[in-house]
Amino acid sequence: MSGATLTESPYRLREFHPFESDGTQFVYLVPSGAIFALNEIGREIIDCVREEDRTREEMVATLGRRGYAERDIELSLTELEQSEVIFNSGENFVEKPQMPARSFPLQRIVLHVTNQCNLSCGYCYEYSGDKISQTEGKPKHMDSSVAQAAIDMLIKESAERPSVHVTFFGGETLLNFSLLRQAVDYAKTKTAEAGKTVEFSLTTNATLLNEQIVDFLAEHRVGITVSIDGDRELNDSMRVFHDGRGSYDVIVPKIKMLLARHRTNSIGARVTLTAGVSQVRRIYQHLTQEVGFKAVGFSPATASPDRLYHIGVEKMSSILGGFEDLAWEYRDYAVAGRQHGFTNVNDTLKELHSGISKAYPCGAGLGLLGVGTAGDLSLCHRFVDSPVGKMGHLQQGGVDHAARNNFLETHHLGARYDCHTCWARPVCAGGCYHEAFVHYGQTSAANLHYCDWIRGWNDLCLRIYGEINLRNPSFLNRFEEN
Amino acid sequence: MNSMRSMNRKARKVEDTVSSITGDVQALQKRGGEGKVYYPMGCTLNFTPGWEVDVSGGTAGLCQPVERDLFDCYLGCGWPAQVPDHLNNAPDWTDKCASAANDWRKVDIVFP
C-alpha cells in the first residue's frame, strides 16, 4: 500500500467495547482484552473518527481547532493506532493467523471416582433426562489401579509443568473415600518422584462428611466445593434423597463442622439455579450468614428448554437482577478493601485483570481431561463415559492424541463463526461444550441462547473493574499471578 | 501514554509495545524505566563520542575506560565499522594484546 493512500485514507474504529464507570470513559479492546481509561484527547479522537471520515491531516486540523497541540495529536494518533483502537483504512489489514494448540501439556485430571450418588437431585445431568453418559457395564466405583494409571498418565502428559492438579468428582465422591485416600497418597509420592507438586480438589454433597474425613482433607489441603442450593425450602426443592427427603437438615451441621475444622484451603458453596430456585440474594445471605461460607458461586442448571426446571427468559432476567445487586455489593466491599464472597464476580474480575483472550472457552481437552470409573478418558467430567468427547482409554493406549487434536482444531474460536463479531469473545469464546451439546446436539455450537446474558454480565464486571481500579487499585493486587 | 491510561495487565503489555515505537531514547547509563525503551547510546552509532574520544576530544569523559571500550566495540557490540575488520582483512590485529588493560599499546595499527 503506498504512502499516499495511507495519508489520504480516513481512520476507522477497530473492535472494542466502550464503557463508562465513575464518570470515566474506558475501552475494552477486542481481541487483545486490554482495558484502558481514555484521557480527554483519546476520547476526542474516537469521537472524531465516529463523527465522519477524516484522514490523518484532517484529524490534526480538526483537533487543532479544538485546542490540542499538534505534537499531542500526532503522538496520540500513533498510540491509538498501535494499540489497535483505530486504524487507517488505507492500511493493508492482515488478520494475524492463529494456530490451534497442539500437544498442550496436561495440567488437571478429573477423576470420576464413582458414578453412584446417594441423592437424587432433580436437575442432575448425570441422571436426568439430559443424561449423556452411558455407564452400563462400567464399574460403579473406580478402583485404585485405574486411579494410579490416571495419575501416572497425568504426570507423563504434563511434560514440563511444575505442578499438576487432581480433582475428585462423581457421583458423590465420598461414597468412594477409600479410593480418594489412596489416590492422594499415590499422587503425592509419584509427583514428588517426578519433581512436581500436586494439588487436590473435591466436589461433594456433604451428606457423608465426618470428622475423620474432614481431617484427612484438611491435612492434604484439598480444596472443597459443596453443592447446596440455599435455605431448607430452596435446597430441598431439588436436592433430595432417593426417598424424596430433603438433604438440608443432614448437610448443614456437617458443613459447619467442615468450615470449622478445615482451614488449609478454600471451601466454597456451589448453587445450581433452576426455575424454582432463583432467589440470588436470599440464597447468598443464607449461605454466608447462616451457614458460614466465605465463597458462594452460582450457576444456572444445564437443561434442555422443555424441562420443567429450565430457566426461561423472564426468570433469567430476574436472576440477572439478583446477580447485579450482589455484584454492586462486591464493588462496595472492594472499594473499602474487603473481600466479598460472590465468586462469580471474583472469577470474572480475575480474568479481566489478566486481560485473557481465550481461543477455547475452558480447559476441557486442552489442559484438562476427565477419567471414567473404567479408565475411559473424556473431554471433561461432564462427558465422562459418554460416546461424545472421547479422548482415549487409560489401559488402551492412553490419551488419543489424534482425537484430541481433532477436537482442538474443530472447536477453536476461529471455527466458531457466530462469535466473530462479539466483543465478549476474549472471555467467553463460545461457552460450555456440554451446555452446547444439550441445547444444540453438538459440542462445537456457540451457546447463542445466553449471548446477551454473557455480554451483560461482562459489561457489568467491566464497569465494576473500572471503578475498583479508580478508587482502590491495590485491591486488584490479589489477582496478580506469581 | 498521552491518550489513555492502562488499567489491566494486558493493557500494560500493549503500552510497553507502543512505547517502543513512541518512547524517548535513553542514555546508556540509565536502564529504561517502566514503559521506556532501552537504546544503548555512547557509541558513534548515535553521533556521540565513541570509544576514541569524548566530547572534549579527550578520553576522561567516556562512559568506560577506553581500553575496554575498544573490545566492547570489537567483540560485544558487533559494530565493525569502528574497528579493523577482523573477519576478513585483519584477523590477527589484536593477537599481541592478551589483556586490553595491560597490552592495549600492542594492538596493531591497521591502514585501510
Residue to substitute from A28, A35, A40, interface B, most B β-carbons within 10 A? A35
Q: What is the full DSSP assignment across A194-229?
A: TT-EEEEEEEE-STT--HHHHHHHHHTTEEEEEE--
Please report, for the domain that includes residue B111, its CATH number. Answer: 4.10.940.10
Q: Which pLDDT does position B94 carry in this prediction? A: 82
pLDDT tens digits, residue range B35-79?
Answer: 555 544 444 444 333 445 566 666 666 655 555 556 666 665 555
Residue with cell string 439430559: A130
Work out whether the CA dihedral A334, A338, A340, A344 comes out positive or negative: positive
Q: Where are the alpha helices (DSSP H) in B1-112?
A: 9-22, 66-71, 100-103
Query: Do residues B84 and B53 share a domain?
Result: yes
Which residues lie below 8 Å from residue A148, measured CB to CB, with a gap of 6+? Answer: A183, A186
- The cell for A280 is 440470588
CB A347 within 8 A of CB B2: no
Domain count, chain B: 2
Q: Which residues of B are catalytic?
A: 69
Chain B environment of A355 (Cβ under 8 Å): 8-11, 13
Spatial distance between the Cα atoms of A363 and A201, rounded to a whole number of angstroms: 16
Distance from CA of B36 to the nearest CA of A (A): 14
List of domains in chain A: 3-88 (3.90.930), 108-404 (3.20.20.70)
Is B22 part of the contact surface with chain A (CB cutoff 8 Å)? yes
The answer to whether the Cβ–Cβ distance between A26 and B7 falls below 8 Å is yes
Q: What is the full DSSP assignment across A325-342?
A: HHHHHHHHHHHTT----B
Chain B environment of A72 (Cβ under 8 Å): 2
Query: Do residues B83 and B47 share a domain?
Result: yes
Q: How sure is the predictor about B34, in pLDDT bands with cuts at 50, 70 and 90? A: low
Distance from CA of B35 to the nearest CA of A (A): 13
Distance from CA of A80 to the nearest CA of B (A): 7
Query: Do residues B34 and B47 share a domain?
Result: no
Chain B environment of A80 (Cβ under 8 Å): 3-4
Query: Do residues B34 and B44 share a domain?
Result: no
Q: What is the pLDDT along chain A (482 residues), one digit of tens a residue?
A: 334 455 679 999 999 999 999 999 999 999 999 999 999 999 999 999 999 999 999 999 999 999 999 999 999 999 999 999 999 988 776 666 666 666 689 999 999 999 999 999 988 877 666 778 888 889 999 999 999 999 999 999 999 999 999 999 989 999 999 999 999 999 999 999 999 999 999 999 999 999 999 999 999 999 999 999 999 999 999 999 999 999 999 999 999 999 999 999 999 999 999 988 999 999 999 999 999 999 999 998 877 777 777 888 888 888 989 999 999 999 999 999 999 999 999 999 999 999 999 999 999 999 999 999 999 999 999 999 999 999 999 999 999 999 999 999 899 998 889 999 999 999 999 999 998 998 899 999 999 988 999 999 999 999 999 999 999 999 999 998 74
Which residues lie below 8 Å from residue A40, measured CB to CB, with a gap of 6+? Answer: none
Chain B environment of A466 (Cβ under 8 Å): 7
Q: How many CA atoms lie within 13 A of A185 on its CB side?
A: 8
| Residue-number span of the structural domain to which B110 is assigned | 40-112
Is A80 part of the contact surface with chain B (CB cutoff 8 Å)? yes
